């Protein structure tokens, strides 16, 4: 795949992160969207670093549009998203269900620990149910979309790869 095509696809996936964020899962502490589906899909489809970059930048675009509600923690969460995407792909390559499971544990249970210093145990525990469900759904959707993308025939035999 050419660099131009990869960068274009990365930009599209980042834009799809914003679109996905508009699809909400109700939660007691605020809605959680499908913003990471596109990033996780990009990680499977484009590779470790480009996809993890999409996941991180997608998160940053969404949180910027919300006014950076986590403040300085935003940087930490963005980095968490980057590394969770890498772990997801690594374990997905071993087994798809394993990738979704590990990704859910990292994204839904481990990553929210970052809120402990500012929100305490109450915020962390409050986030767990909805964030875990959102993680399962985002990761599962990314796997389904990735399988569909892999099955799509090329648009033409002379298209750049």
Q: What is the pLDDT of residues 25-49, one digit of tens each?
A: 776 656 778 989 999 999 999 999 9
Look at residue 10 and tell me if it is in a domain.
yes
Is the residue at 59 inside a domain?
yes
Whether residue 133 is contained in a domain is answered as yes
Predicted pLDDT of residue 26: 74
Residues of the chain with pLDDT under 70: 27-30, 155-161
Model pLDDT, residue 152: 87
What is the per-residue pLDDT for 28? 65
DSSP letters of the chain?
A: --HHHHHHHHHHHHHHHHHHHTSEE--TTS-EESHHHHHHHHHHHH-HHHHHHHHHHHHHHHHHHTT-TTTTHHHHHHHHHHHHHHHHHHHHHH-HHHHHHHHHIIIIIIGGGGGHHHHHHHHHHHHHHHHHHHHHHHHHHHHHHHHHHHHSPPS-TTS--
Query: Domain residues for 9?
Result: 3-151
The predicted pLDDT at position 29 comes to: 57
Assigned domain for 78 exists: yes
Q: CA–CA separation, 86 vs 43, rounded Å?
A: 7
How many independent structural domains does the chain possess? 1
The pTM score is 0.89
Q: Mention every residue, 6+ apart, whose C-beta is less than 8 A from residue 74.
A: 60, 63, 68
Determine, yes or no, domain membership for 157. no
Cα(70)–Cα(123) distance, rounded to whole angstroms? Answer: 12
């Amino acid at each position: 795949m050419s660099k131009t095509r990869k960068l274009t696809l990365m930009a599209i996936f980042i834009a799809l992160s914003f679109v996905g964020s508009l699809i909400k899962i109700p939660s007691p502490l605020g809605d959680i969207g499908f913003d990471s589906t596109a990033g996780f899909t990009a990680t499977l489809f484009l590779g470790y670093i480009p996809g993890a970059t999409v996941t991180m930048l997608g998160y940053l675009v969404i949180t910027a549009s919300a006014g950076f509600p986590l403040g300085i923690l935003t940087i930490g969460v963005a980095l968490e998203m980057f590394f969770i995407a890498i772990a997801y792909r690594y374990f997905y390559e071993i087994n798809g269900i394993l990738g979704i499971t590990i990704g859910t544990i990292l994204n839904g249970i481990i990553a929210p620990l970052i809120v402990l210093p500012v929100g305490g145990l109450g915020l962390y525990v409050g986030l767990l149910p909805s964030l875990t469900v959102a993680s399962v759904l985002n990761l599962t959707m990314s796997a389904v979309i990735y399988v569909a993308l892999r099955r799509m025939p090329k648009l033409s035999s002379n298209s750049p790869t």
